[in-house]
Amino acid sequence: MRQTALLVAVLALVAAGGCLSAGSGPLSDESGENVTVEYGITASSLPSEIASANLTMQVVFVENGDDFSDNACWRDTYFGPFKPTPTPIGEPSGDCLRSQEVTVDVTELNETRTVTATAPERFDAGHGLVVTDVVATYQNGTSVSRIHGFGGHRANIVEGTPEDRYTVDLGIGTAETPAYAYYLSAEENSSGR
């Protein structure tokens, strides 16, 4: 009886483990083919009064072309402080796959930092490099609180399968508006491809 109970407990754990791993998100497809994108992150201009600027980013892969054109897979970039109320954006019709987040302090970035992300081949409708968070401090140690782009910023959006390495210059510029003091800047550098 004791051996039967132990066997049942082990089978239950194996079954639960299978359910948890199956629900953790698509990591590869059956054919083993993948879509890979590589970004070279470089720093552009920063105001001298800013001591550090940690930008957290991730690559978002799109399965369905309609979701690319409708911006459904990066709908979160329309919301946040200092952003206007957007036209309603629908839920994605296909899957959107987000890579792990990477944080880079652009004030200490003296050379190109490479960010690579891979997804199953079915996510070949497009991808976007999205800055999900910005944490900046002044030289005196206090936090910079008014940055347009905080809360989600599309640094680079590419339709279709990635074909090459992309280079994006990230930085912070001084804004000329009372609503916010700075803005997050992102520019694809085509010479870095």
What is the CATH number for 147?
2.60.40
pLDDT at 6 over 90: no
Q: Distance from CA of residue 155 to its chain's centroid?
A: 9
**Contact between residue 143 and residue 177 where contact means Cβ atoms under 8 Å apart:** no
Region 114-141: what's the mean pLDDT?
95
Region 103-113: what's the mean pLDDT?
93
Query: Would residue 17 count as lying in a domain?
Result: no
Return mean pLDDT, the chain. Answer: 80
pLDDT at 54 over 70: yes
What local confidence, expressed as pLDDT, does residue 12 receive?
37
Rounded to whole angstroms, how far apart are CA atoms 125 and 42? 26
Query: Would residue 164 count as lying in a domain?
Result: yes
> What band does 120 get if pLDDT is binned at 50, 70 and 90?
very high
Question: 79 or 113: which carries more pLDDT confidence?
Answer: 113
Query: Would residue 1 count as lying in a domain?
Result: no
What local confidence, expressed as pLDDT, does residue 45 receive?
85
What is the span of the domain harbouring residue 148?
Answer: 29-192
Q: Provide the number of structural domains found in the chain.
A: 1
Query: Would residue 2 count as lying in a domain?
Result: no
Q: Distance from CA of residue 55 to its chain's centroid?
A: 10
> What band does 125 get if pLDDT is binned at 50, 70 and 90?
very high
What local confidence, expressed as pLDDT, does residue 31 receive?
52
Rounded to whole angstroms, how far apart are CA atoms 170 and 41? 7
